[in-house]
């Protein structure tokens, strides 16, 4: 979902990350607030417009963070680990390490965000009324934040998974049907349907309009596209979790350790090591020292015209970026670590020595066999 992120803070022990795409949204919100104040109060200085624009934007994103923090705090109260809160192009998201254990906990965690947004809307309403007679600029900013928080709550309550409303729906379906997987599928299908409505509405608005409405139409299409992908991805992740539940690394790792030297060219790797039905990931060594891993997927990202020049060592994932795991670790936890590191394979270490290798291809294969997932 995300590209590169940086950690900017830690709130209640939860890392706050910013995806680089968020910078675009921050600039857009700041510019919109700047333009609004310039239109309403034409006699202010440029410095005052900038100050109001930045203040409004900062308070807007503080509202988003508090919305996600409400999810995270409730999740931890129910024993669900929280990885981080990430701000990105479409706002923010709490990355929770595992699913809720019951429909009730799912419902409470899902409702916490919209509820916090409505509380913030009530707070800014009081500020708006209090400063109306005293300072029109502050009152205008407060009113904008009332509308933003109400919109944030309403949008997230749309009953399409993985939005908060979709999670509320899934909790209710889960409670009624007694089947989390079926509830997830139904909520995901509705989420995809809503996403297609967003895209259709955006295309219609873009086709029939110009200027500001054209941009809004394009934005709706983008939001719909993002929601459709998120709904499908969420359901597939649920299937993978279910398929791998109860497996340990020892159950799925390969003890046949395929190794290649780091000074080998990619062309030699293909010609000498890749065979039909053979390993899809290799340990990269220098002498007897493990230096990293390389996978067929990583190889495919390199243009064939460069295979003669590039070596395995220049293409591999360095050991510092590869999680080293225990054979008794839970596969689901390891898959999450692999996702975070972007690793296609990880070495399995016991008593200081490498005893196996676990590739993502093995995990995907198990999920396919148990759930009939597409590759």
* pLDDT above 50 for 374: no
Least trusted range by pLDDT, from 209-223, 236-250, 282-296, 354-368: 209-223
Band (pLDDT 50/70/90 cuts) for residue 73 is very high
Mean pLDDT of 173-178: 92
The whole-chain average pLDDT of the chain stands at 83
* pLDDT above 50 for 149: yes
Q: What spatial distance separates the first Cα and last Cα of the chain, rounded to whole Å? A: 18
Provide, rounded to the nearest whole percent, the portion of the chain with pLDDT above 90: 17
CB 64 within 8 A of CB 152: yes
Taking the C-alpha atoms of residue 369 and residue 252, their distance in angstroms, rounded to an integer, is: 14
Most trustworthy range by pLDDT among 84-93, 135-144, 312-321:
312-321
Taking the C-alpha atoms of residue 254 and residue 260, their distance in angstroms, rounded to an integer, is: 16
Q: Give the burial string for 237-250 (b: 16+ CB within 10 Å, else e).
A: bbbbbbbbeebebb
Domain boundaries, the chain: 5-244, 249-371
pLDDT of residue 172: 94
CA dist list (Å): 278 to 254, 270, 352, 361: 12, 11, 27, 12
Task: Give the tens place of pLDDT for each residue, 3-15.
Answer: 577 888 888 888 8
Mean pLDDT of 338-346: 73
* pLDDT above 90 for 83: no
Taking the C-alpha atoms of residue 87 and residue 6, their distance in angstroms, rounded to an integer, is: 10
For residues 126 and 24, which has the higher predicted lDDT (pLDDT)?
126
Residue 127, CA atoms < 13 Å, CB-side half-sphere: 16
CB 136 within 8 A of CB 25: no
Task: Give the tens place of pLDDT for each residue, 238-262.
Answer: 777 777 777 888 888 888 878 889 8
CB 191 within 8 A of CB 227: yes
Mean pLDDT of 68-87: 89
Most trustworthy range by pLDDT among 125-129, 240-244, 327-331, 361-365:
125-129
The domain 249-371 is placed in CATH, from the list 3.10.580.10, 3.30.1490.20, 3.40.50.11540, 1.10.530.10, at 3.10.580.10
For residues 341 and 153, which has the higher predicted lDDT (pLDDT)?
153
Taking the C-alpha atoms of residue 54 and residue 33, their distance in angstroms, rounded to an integer, is: 8
Band (pLDDT 50/70/90 cuts) for residue 23 is confident
Task: Give the tens place of pLDDT for each residue, 176-215.
Answer: 998 888 888 888 888 888 889 988 988 888 787 766 666 7
For residues 145 and 276, which has the higher predicted lDDT (pLDDT)?
145
* pLDDT above 90 for 121: yes
């Amino acid at each position: 979902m995300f590209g590169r992120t940086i950690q900017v803070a830690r709130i209640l022990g939860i890392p706050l990350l910013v995806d680089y795409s968020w910078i675009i949204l921050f600039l857009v919100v700041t510019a919109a607030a700047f333009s609004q104040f310039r239109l309403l109060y034409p006699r202010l200085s440029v410095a005052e417009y900038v100050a109001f624009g930045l203040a409004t934007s900062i308070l807007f994103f503080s509202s988003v963070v508090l919305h996600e923090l409400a999810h995270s705090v409730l999740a931890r109260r129910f024993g669900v680990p929280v990885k981080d809160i990430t701000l990105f192009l479409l706002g923010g998201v709490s990355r929770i390490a595992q699913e809720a254990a019951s429909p009730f906990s799912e419902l409470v965690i899902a409702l916490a965000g919209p509820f916090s947004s409505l509380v913030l809307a009530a707070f800014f309403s009081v500020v708006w009324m209090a400063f109306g007679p005293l300072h029109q600029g502050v009152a205008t900013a407060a009113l904008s934040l009332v509308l933003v928080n109400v919109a944030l709550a309403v949008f997230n309550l749309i009953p399409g998974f993985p939005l908060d409303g979709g999670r509320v729906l899934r909790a209710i379906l889960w409670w009624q049907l007694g089947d989390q997987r079926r509830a997830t599928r139904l909520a995901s299908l509705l989420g995809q349907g809503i996403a297609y409505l967003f895209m259709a509405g955006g295309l219609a608005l873009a086709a029939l309009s110009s200027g500001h409405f054209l941009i809004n139409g394009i934005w709706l299409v983008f939001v719909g596209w993002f929601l459709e992908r998120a709904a499908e991805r969420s359901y597939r992740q649920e299937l993978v979790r279910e398929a791998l539940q109860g497996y340990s690394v020892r159950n799925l790792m390969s003890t046949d350790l395929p190794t290649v030297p780091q000074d080998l060219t990619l062309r030699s790797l293909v010609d000498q090591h890749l065979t039909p039905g053979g390993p899809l990931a290799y340990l990269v060594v220098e002498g007897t020292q493990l230096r990293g891993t390389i996978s067929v997927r990583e190889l495919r990202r390199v243009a064939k015209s460069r295979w003669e020049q590039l070596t395995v060592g220049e293409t591999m994932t360095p050991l510092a970026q590869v999680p080293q795991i225990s054979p008794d670790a839970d596969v689901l936890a390891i898959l999450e670590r692999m996702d975070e590191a972007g690793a296609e394979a990880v070495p399995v270490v016991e008593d200081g020595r490498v005893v196996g290798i676990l590739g993502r291809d093995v995990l995907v294969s198990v999920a396919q066999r148990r759930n009939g997932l597409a590759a």
